[in-house]
Structure 1
Amino acid sequence: MLVLDEEQTRAALAWPALIDAIAAMFADGCVMPVRHHHDMEVPGESDATLLLMPAWLPGRYMGVKMVSVFPGNAARALPAIFGTYLLSSGQTGEMLAVIDGGELTARRTAAASALAARYLAREDAEELLVCGTGRLSLNLIQAHATGRPLKRIGIWGRDREKAAGIAREAQALGLAAEPVADLQAAARSADIISCATLSGAPLIQGEWLKPGAHLDLIGGFKPDMREADDTAIRRARVFVDTRAGAMKEAGDITQPLKNGVLAADDIRAELRELVNGAHPGRTDDADITLFKSVGAALEDLAGAILAYEYVRGRQA
């Protein structure tokens, strides 16, 4: 049985290969039950969340990810998200690998956003704004820079020192990143805006979005979380990773559905339909597009299989 730590998991999940693996899994499909979602009380702090996400390819592989989200960890200088992925044989049930779930989650989440941007962002998009300074931030920068010549990358966060730190890490990778202090000005200028926060109130105002902008919402995974306002929903063509997940769990979708700003039929397509060509994605350079992701177990399974087969191949 393989045991892959954070560094080994990162090395096994190169961006181009991971994006393609997730695309292939969306195209081909797998068995993906509804994930378990449990709120957990943390005395004196915001509630934590426990997620259990199973998926399998019959006769080939099966896996489950256990993830915890503790918002209070920010005050402890700890990541908000911890997790472990267990990959087993779909033929015998034999345990094949234990994979660092935090790194797998961060990379597959960023890869899915970059995959959606292939279909929804303008081909000539060259300015990226990342909102949030957590673990996902640098991953999002790297994923969106894969196959896209970004000329300007801004990082905004409530903690300016953290934003500056993310910018320095991106610069060390040869990427043109800088911290930004004025969120509104940066959002008005950006071609792609990627939000990865745990915000309970909208950060991005729809009136800020320029024609042709692509808004990527990642952080909110509960009905009481929002990263964009109703105006953004009204102005945009809305896409999701999966309808089942987004329409049940994501406040950026559930709240507009509840207040009538968004109807179920207004969701143009989910990621599977974009990958399979059932929906063309962006059809006009002036359109504003919005992609809401809550994460899908098939993304984790695709990444886990890729990591396992990569390491086994190197050992052979």
Structure 2
Amino acid sequence: MPLLIIRDHEIRELLPMKACIGIMDQAMRALSAGTVDVPERIIAPLADGRSYFILMPGLMPLSEGDGHPGPYGAKLVGLHPDNPAGGRPAVQGFVSLFDGRTGEPVALLGGASITAIRTAAASALATRELARPDARSHGIFGAGVLAATHLEAIACVRDIEQVVLWARDPAKARQFAERYRDPDGPEIRVTTDQATAAACDVVSLVTNSPTPVLRGDWLREGAHLNLVGAHEPEHREADSEAVAKSRIYVDSRSAALAEAGDLLIPMQEGRIGPDAIVGEIGELLLERVP
């Protein structure tokens, strides 16, 4: 069987955001139902102390009727936070897919586009289920690739009229607004005040900051918060107050308790316990949790 190679620019054409949100709905349900196996990912820090090699495996169940394993694969990526300064995405890598019967490699897919689209689609799915129906404003912290896909994704599930953008580099924030401003889309407003970006109906944190960029006392009552960027137990984007005042849902309970610094640090401080997690998004979709 010839190996299929789908590159990043082709994935952007083949995987529309709305379609990916639907796929994530199915995936989250399957994960929480236990019909797929997603082992804990491996995160290996590189020698510079800022970059990481990340391996994320996933396995489908037995094929119906013949008892053979279903397809399986893994995403292998390098996370290099200094890349955007040189015009490259911070995430580089690919997704590998294997035939469950024979172990033959079936496909290699561009990892940067899949990561950017899938991550935002997962946030949009959570927003669809948890944000107020009348949410109209979206605060975005960050001005990279994930900020762009979250701009698109959240607008797929709520009638967003205004986006308020904050980034540590104001020039980059202005460039982002100029690039993605659309006469038919929401107004994009750039701010240098984090509290202003936080005072929105939906807030998405998509930075690579290891320390909080958002304080809980900036959030308005009833806001929905997507925490995306932190992936190490000692890193977090929101302070403990923001987490302690929230109803918490996660994509994977086991993964969150192993590596989500946004949750682990408030737990270490005694602000919340493991039972603060109301449930997984998939459990919410399956109506197993309120």
Give the conservation status (yes or no) of the 8 Å contact 1:64–1:87.
yes
Deviations 1:25-78 (A, max 9, x none): 221231111211111112xxx431111111121333211110111223344343
Matched, 1:141 2:151: yes
Which residue of 2 is the match for residue 304 of structure 1? none
- Which one-letter code corresponds to 1:15 in the other structure? M
Residue range with higher mean Cα deviation, 246-255 or 23-32: 23-32
Which residue of 1 is the match for residue 251 of structure 2? 241
TM-score of the superposition, structure 1-length normalised?
0.83
Matched, 1:22 2:33: no
Which residue of 2 is the match for residue 262 of structure 1? 272
Give the conservation status (yes or no) of the 8 Å contact 1:222–1:251.
yes
Counterpart secondary structure, 1:226: coil
How has the CA–CA distance of structure 1 residues 174 and 92 changed in structure 2, closer, same or farther, with 3 Å as cutoff? farther
Counterpart secondary structure, 2:287: coil
Matched, 1:123 2:133: yes
CA distance in 2, matches of 1:137, 1:197: 8
Give the conservation status (yes or no) of the 8 Å contact 2:128–2:158.
no
Which residue of 2 is the match for residue 97 of structure 1? 107
How has the CA–CA distance of structure 1 residues 225 and 97 changed in structure 2, closer, same or farther, with 3 Å as cutoff? same
Matched, 1:182 2:193: yes
Q: Shift of residue 269 of structure 1?
A: 0.8
Matched, 1:153 2:159: no
Which aligned pairs between 1:1-316 and structure 2 lie closer than 5 A? 1-29=3-31, 30-42=36-48, 46-58=49-61, 59-172=69-182, 174-176=184-186, 177-188=188-199, 190-280=200-290
RMSD: 1.5
Q: Shift of residue 92 of structure 1?
A: 2.6
- Which one-letter code corresponds to 1:180 in the other structure? T
Residue range with higher mean Cα deviation, 154-163 or 135-144: 154-163
CA distance in 2, matches of 1:231, 1:48: 28
CA distance in 2, matches of 1:57, 1:25: 11
Give the conservation status (yes or no) of the 8 Å contact 1:138–1:169.
no
Q: Shift of residue 152 of structure 1?
A: 0.5
Give the conservation status (yes or no) of the 8 Å contact 1:247–1:253.
yes
CA distance in 2, matches of 1:26, 1:16: 16
TM-score of the superposition, structure 2-length normalised?
0.90
- Which one-letter code corresponds to 1:55 in the other structure? G
Q: Shift of residue 178 of structure 1?
A: 2.5
Give the conservation status (yes or no) of the 8 Å contact 2:141–2:197.
no
Give the conservation status (yes or no) of the 8 Å contact 1:198–1:225.
no
Q: Which runs of 5+ in 1 are unaligned?
A: 281-316
CA distance in 2, matches of 1:50, 1:144: 28
Which residue of 2 is the match for residue 305 of structure 1? none
- Which one-letter code corresponds to 2:197 in the other structure? A
Deviations 1:157-213 (A, max 9, x none): 11122212222232247322232222212312x000000111121111101111110
CA distance in 2, matches of 1:193, 1:145: 12
User: RCO greater where, 1 or 2, for CA within 8 Å and sep 6 or more?
Assistant: 1
Counterpart secondary structure, 2:82: helix
Give the conservation status (yes or no) of the 8 Å contact 1:132–1:196.
yes
Deviations 1:268-295 (A, max 9, x none): 1112211211123xxxxxxxxxxxxxxx
Which residue of 2 is the match for residue 296 of structure 1? none
Q: Percent identity?
A: 35
Give the conservation status (yes or no) of the 8 Å contact 2:141–2:167.
yes
Which residue of 1 is the match for residue 66 of structure 2? none
Counterpart secondary structure, 2:157: coil
Which residue of 1 is the match for residue 65 of structure 2? none
Which residue of 2 is the match for residue 314 of structure 1? none
- Which one-letter code corresponds to 1:54 in the other structure? P
Q: How many residues align?
A: 276
Deviations 1:119-166 (A, max 9, x none): 211011010011001110110010101132110012211112221222
Which residue of 1 is the match for residue 64 of structure 2? none
